[in-house]
């Protein structure tokens, strides 16, 4: 299997041009929901994003295999989203957007292992772990993404990272076949996993037996910390920039007095300088202009190039 960056599940050979009829043929026969010309702002935590040719929500792994095989046969590009680390540009995404919201099964396996389908939200998974007294995911309290998105991004906080808990993953590769990868076969870096191209549809997490009240206490403390320090009441996509080595992007932005700076409806959060918030009507162009402004100020002031943690996708 070819090693990609694991982010865009694109079919190997896509057509530069395709018609709505090609797209319709590629999603024919799916048992899950199919929405044509779907506005992606409805699928992103930023509440920003133009339309997708089609958004599909497969009902199970077989349905995922079918859409991948058909997209390949018709050479239509595929993109997968959970939607919480993304800025979708105003022109939207051409081709098929896959959302795994209906793949939300969780089961406990022997040896304190949890299997979660790819579309399970991290908050739901943590709730399940608490109810079953399973420790190990407390670090992720308050991360809103799907468990699959958290694998692909190697999501993390100062308390831990996704890679610390992964035992194995289940993917649908770009031929539409189900494959499993052990954690040892995957290279994890800061905020990314180097995965073969494909769609992560399930994850086995190695947790440990803990004391429910203690797990709950750590989760609640961390959620309180987030509420106190992050602009959770406003649409955002989490941290915009990666932390530079041995430094903090938020600190650099705050020291440059950029909190509250706006372009159109996009603003550098007053509460957390590494968050940008949508004040209601921000376009993706507003956010990208604000990103440029912050980056050039930090480059001038501190000589540091801020790398994006946020993924920017789609057409301008």
Closer to ligand FAD by Cβ: residue 133 or 157: 157
Closer to ligand FAD by Cβ: residue 87 or 294: 87
CB of 147 to ligand FAD, least distance (A): 8
Number of residue whose CB is nearest ligand FAD: 82
Q: Which H, E and C letters describe 163-182, residue by residue?
A: HHCEEEEEEEECCCCEEEEE
Closer to ligand FAD by Cβ: residue 237 or 263: 237
All residues at 6 or more sequence positions from 2 whose CB lies less than 8 Å from its CB, including other chains: 196, 197
**Residues forming a β-bridge with 179:** 171
Q: In the numeric block, which tokens belong to residue 44?
A: 């992103």
CB of 103 to ligand FAD, least distance (A): 9
Closer to ligand FAD by Cβ: residue 150 or 291: 150
Q: In the numeric block, which tokens belong to residue 94?
A: 């051409």
CB of 126 to ligand FAD, least distance (A): 13
Closer to ligand FAD by Cβ: residue 110 or 280: 280
Closer to ligand FAD by Cβ: residue 19 or 185: 185
**Using CB under 6 A as the criterion, which residues of the chain lie in contact with ligand FAD when the complex forms?**
7-9, 45, 79-86, 100, 118, 143-146, 148-150, 152-153, 155-157, 199-200, 230, 232, 236-238, 311
Q: Count CB atoms within 10 A of the CB of residue 72.
A: 18
**Long-range CB contact pairs, 1-4, < 8 A, 24+:** 1/173, 1/179, 1/196, 1/197, 1/198, 2/196, 2/197, 3/194, 3/195, 3/196, 4/195, 4/196, 4/197
Task: Compute the distance between CA of residue 257 and CA of residue 259 in angstroms, rounded to an integer.
Answer: 6
CB of 139 to ligand FAD, least distance (A): 9
CB of 96 to ligand FAD, least distance (A): 12
CB of 117 to ligand FAD, least distance (A): 10
């Amino acid at each position: 299997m070819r090693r990609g960056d694991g982010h865009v599940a694109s079919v190997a050979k896509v057509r530069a041009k395709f018609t709505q009829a090609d797209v319709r043929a590629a999603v024919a026969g799916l048992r899950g929901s199919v929405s044509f010309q779907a506005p992606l702002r409805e699928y992103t935590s930023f509440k920003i994003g133009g339309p997708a040719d089609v958004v599909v929500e497969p009902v199970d792994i077989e349905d995922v295999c079918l859409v991948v095989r058909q997209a390949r046969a018709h050479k239509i590009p595929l993109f997968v989203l959970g939607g919480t680390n993304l800025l979708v540009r105003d022109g939207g995404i051409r081709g098929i957007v896959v959302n795994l919201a209906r793949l939300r099964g969780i089961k406990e396996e022997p040896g304190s292992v949890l299997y979660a389908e790819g579309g399970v939200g991290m908050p739901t998974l943590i709730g399940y772990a608490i109810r079953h007294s399973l420790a190990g995911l407390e670090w992720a309290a308050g991360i809103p993404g799907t468990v699959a998105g958290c694998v692909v991004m190697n999501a993390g906080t100062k308390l831990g990272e996704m890679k610390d808990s992964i035992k194995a993953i289940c993917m649908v590769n770009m031929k539409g076949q189900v494959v499993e990868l052990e954690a040892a076969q995957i290279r994890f870096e800061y905020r990314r996993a180097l995965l073969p191209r494909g769609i992560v549809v399930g994850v086995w997490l190695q947790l440990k037996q803990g004391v429910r009240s203690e797990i709950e206490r750590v989760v609640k403390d961390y959620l309180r910390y987030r509420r106190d320090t992050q602009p959770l009441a406003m649409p955002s996509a989490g941290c915009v920039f990666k932390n530079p080595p041995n430094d903090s992007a938020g600190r650099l932005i705050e020291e440059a007095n950029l909190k509250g700076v706006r372009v159109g409806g996009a603003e550098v959060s007053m509460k957390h300088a590494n968050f940008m918030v949508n004040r209601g009507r921000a376009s993706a162009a507003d956010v990208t202009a604000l990103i440029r402004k912050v980056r050039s100020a930090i480059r001038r002031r501190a000589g540091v190039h801020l790398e994006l943690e946020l993924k920017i996708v789609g057409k301008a």
